[in-house]
Amino acid sequence: MLSDPVLSYDRMKTERDEKIKEAHRRYGYRLAEIGRYLDLHYSTVSRIVSGDR
């Protein structure tokens, strides 16, 4: 079914976003550092951390 891969992707993305928030809030990594490591623009990381995504 198509929904299984989609649900799996959404779950992975949710887990990724939670780890990004933890890296920033708990461990003090800067948005740019997280972005470089994950190959994401720092503004994308900012939206994830602020909950806009």
**pLDDT band for position 2 (cuts 50, 70, 90):** low
**pLDDT tens digit string along 10-36?**
889 999 999 999 999 999 999 999 999
What was the pLDDT predicted at 13? 92
Domain count of the chain? Answer: 1
51, pLDDT greater than 70: yes
**pLDDT band for position 9 (cuts 50, 70, 90):** confident
Q: How many CB atoms lie within 10 A of CB 47?
A: 15
